[in-house]
Amino acid sequence: MPIYERGYLELREEERPGRPSWLVLPLVEAGAWIRNRKLLVLWFACVVPFLVLLVRLFMALSLVALDGSAPRPGRMPRVFLGNPRSMEFYSGPLLEFSLLPVLVFLAATAVRTISLDRKTGALELYFTRPLSPSRYILGRWCGAALAVASVTAVPALLVWLVGALAAPDWSFLEETLWIPGRILLQGGFFALVMGIWVAAISSLTSSPRTSQILWAGFLAVMHLVFSGGLRRFLRESWPVQLSPWGILQRVGEAILGVKPEVPLSLPLCVALSVFLSVLAYLVLRRNLKPLEVVG
């Protein structure tokens, strides 16, 4: 039969077995961070709190006995070094000092991805391949979550692992074996929730610079206004700290099992986290729907 009599044949391209198509997006995104020297320098700057924690860990292991005994005369007091066997030792960089690193690193990496794809027309190209909008969202979500984890949970786990390897005996590992599990739970919660927020904000515009401004306004400005600015006008009330970062911090404190610094109701924070995540997903689907029709 001549080819002109066969009519229209739809091109059906199947996925290669093994690696899912959506998994390519976070892997390519992570590879771009590693190859970019400026982003590597920025990453090192963002993990400075964990580098300080690592120094404190070595000083605690070498100058102060891990069995809780008093430090030797002339040695640095234990109250400065902290106790590497307690969760409070790791919770500071994870909760109190992680706002600025997360804000800066995500503004330079993950929050630009979808807006840059829209600007360059890459979305239409993605949707003509065997990559559905749902899988594209999943890939970008995982990429943003990986960026969050790289400056929060991953450095904290590395600090604990160094402590376990550098400890003089196995008692450190036996008494702190529960710590990495808590860090993974808290880091996974942070990464997944903040990842969908980043993806939604990135889909609002086709300008990477505008998406960075929106991200800073959503996380930093709202936190400063609710947690700092309103305290001067309102006496003391828990709604003053009801910011997106305050919500995540309160849930993170509960997961890590440390004393809460944010006076917010835990069930309320969990409900708001779920609500904002669902809302972010709906915004993301809505902004990609016209492109889905085109694809």
177-203 tens-digit pLDDT: 999 999 999 999 999 999 999 999 999
The position carrying tokens 């904000």 is 201
Residue, of 276 and 221, whose pLDDT is higher: 276
Q: Would you state the torsion angle of the CA atoms of residues 195, 200, 206, 210, taken in this order, to the nearest 10 degrees?
A: -80
How far apart (Å, rounded) are the C-alpha atoms in residues 107 and 281?
Answer: 19
Average pLDDT over residues 247-263: 86
Residue 246, judged by CB atoms within 10 A of its CB (0-12, 13-18, 19+), counts as buried
How many angstroms separate the Cα of 138 from the Cα of each of 87, 200, 218, 227, 285?
A: 32, 12, 22, 32, 11
Can you give the pLDDT at residue 263? 74
Percent of the chain with pLDDT over 90: 23
Q: Report whether pLDDT(62) > 80.
A: no
Q: How confident is the model at residue 255 (pLDDT cuts 50, 70, 90)?
A: very high
Average pLDDT over the chain reads 79
